[in-house]
Amino acid sequence: MTRWREILAALTDDTLDDAERGAVLAWAAVRLANDRGAAGHRPTIEEVMALACEEFAVNIDTGQARAALDDWERADGERKFT
């Protein structure tokens, strides 16, 4: 439930600029792609971008998707999803 609250907050928070909002949504898209993918499969940039568009109706660019994927891979146990 926390994940969806974070997403909804990012979509409605007027204090976030487009870059900050995109970063939060890119991270959420990575999380969803990881959750929905096969075990051991690293989500691709294209999967992350497609999920952001399909699930959140937001277009993120390749840089945002790549940054979120890189952050996800470097994350410690608390932030890593699997």
Cα 62 from Cα 76, distance rounded (Å): 23
User: CA-CA distances (angstroms) from residue 35 to 13, 20, 51?
Assistant: 25, 23, 12
72: Cα within 13 Å, side-chain hemisphere: 26
Domain ranges (residues) in the chain: 2-74
Is the per-residue pLDDT at 18 higher than 50?
A: yes
Per residue in 28-58, pLDDT (tens digit) is 899 889 888 888 888 999 999 999 999 888 8
Cβ within 8 Å of residue 69, ≥6 positions away: 30, 42, 43, 45, 48
DSSP 8-state assignment for residue 39: T
The model's pTM = 0.78
